[in-house]
């Protein structure tokens, strides 16, 4: 069984039993949507490719469904900066994978490890480093693999090579799934470490002062009260002087 299917089924089991709920919630996905996407990717990979021209086609499970999910997540991004970061991450990941593909040997017998695994691991790492957040990292990891295909198609066209390209096909589902999962795992792992180093959610109302965490609760109210007190005092002084 291909690695992509195995990983999708493992993620599906984690979603069903609620182990992936927090990660999905931080990405802006519900458990139901995640399960629908997983099932759609598996079923879609067995469907005929969608022809977009003489030399380009789109695999439903390996490209169409993942692209639709990424577009949905980009729309769900909280800020414009996060949207730009997610798209930039996808472009950088695609370029990095294309460069790696040119470095590794073309002959399968010369490879110690499956090329798709190399693409997936490379994509996941680059996507996390450039995306940082869980959502941006996932978008970069998934779209980066597809962008690699698009870059290869553009290079073929520039060289006059009439070689058909199937976006998300020819085993690239494995790389897409692996890249997205690695990117999210790295973002989650590093994010948890950073939160623990910063004191976690239990110190969200604290600020760092003189080498220790000090409560920030009531600071604004105290400042406000001080300002109001000063204002009242300023108003009372002229009255006292007038009595004299």
How far, in Å, CA of 90 to CA of 235, rounded?
A: 61
Mean local confidence (pLDDT), 182-197: 89
Mean local confidence (pLDDT), 43-48: 94
Q: Residue 227 class from Cβ within 10 Å (0-12 exposed, 13-18 middle, 19+ buried)?
A: exposed
pLDDT band at 157 (very low <50, low <70, confident <90, very high): confident
How far, in Å, CA of 127 to CA of 178, rounded?
A: 12
Full-model pTM:
0.78
Q: Indicate if the pLDDT at residue 37 is higher than 50.
A: yes
The string of pLDDT tens digits covering residues 55-105 is 899 999 999 999 999 999 999 998 999 999 999 999 999 999 999 988 887
> For residue 103, what pLDDT is reported?
87
> For residue 19, what pLDDT is reported?
92
Q: How many residues can be counted in the chain?
A: 244
How far, in Å, CA of 201 to CA of 26, rounded?
A: 15
Higher pLDDT, 149 or 109: 149
Q: Indicate if the pLDDT at residue 200 is higher than 80.
A: no
Give the CA distances from residue 138 to residues 62, 131, 150, in Å, rounded to whole numbers and listed in that order. 15, 8, 19
Q: Indicate if the pLDDT at residue 210 is higher than 50.
A: no
Q: Which tokens hold the place of 147?
A: 């962008």
Delimit the domains of the chain by residue range.
3-197, 206-243
Q: What is the mean pLDDT of the chain?
A: 82
> For residue 125, what pLDDT is reported?
95
> For residue 108, what pLDDT is reported?
60
Q: Which tokens hold the place of 226?
A: 């001080």
pLDDT band at 227 (very low <50, low <70, confident <90, very high): very low
How is residue 20 annotated by DSSP? T
- 63 Cβ neighbours under 8 A, 6+ residues apart: 146, 149, 167, 168, 169, 172, 176
């Amino acid at each position: 069984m291909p690695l992509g299917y195995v990983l999708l089924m493992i993620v599906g089991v984690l979603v069903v039993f609620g182990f992936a709920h927090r990660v999905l919630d931080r990405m802006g996905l519900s458990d139901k949507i995640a399960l629908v996407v997983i099932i759609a990717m598996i079923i879609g990979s067995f469907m005929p490719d969608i022809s977009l021209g003489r030399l380009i086609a789109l695999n439903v499970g390996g490209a169409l469904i993942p692209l639709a999910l990424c577009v949905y997540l980009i729309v769900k991004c909280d800020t414009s900066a996060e949207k730009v970061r997610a798209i930039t991450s996808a472009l950088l990941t695609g370029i990095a994978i294309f460069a790696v593909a040119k470095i590794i040997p073309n002959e399968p017998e010369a490879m110690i490890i499956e090329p798709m695994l190399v693409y997936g691991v490379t994509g996941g790492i680059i996507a996390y480093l450039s995306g940082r957040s869980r959502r941006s990292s996932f978008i970069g990891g998934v779209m980066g693999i597809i962008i690699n295909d698009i870059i290869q198609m553009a290079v073929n066209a520039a060289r006059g090579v009439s070689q058909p390209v199937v976006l998300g096909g020819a085993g690239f589902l494995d790389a897409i799934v692996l890249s997205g999962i690695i990117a999210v795992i790295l973002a989650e792992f590093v994010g948890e470490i950073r939160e623990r180093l910063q004191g976690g959610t239990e110190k969200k109302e604290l600020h760092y002062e003189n080498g220790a965490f000090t409560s920030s609760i009531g600071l604004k109210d105290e400042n406000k009260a001080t300002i109001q007190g000063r204002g009242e005092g300023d108003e009372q002084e002229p009255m006292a002087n007038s009595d004299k």
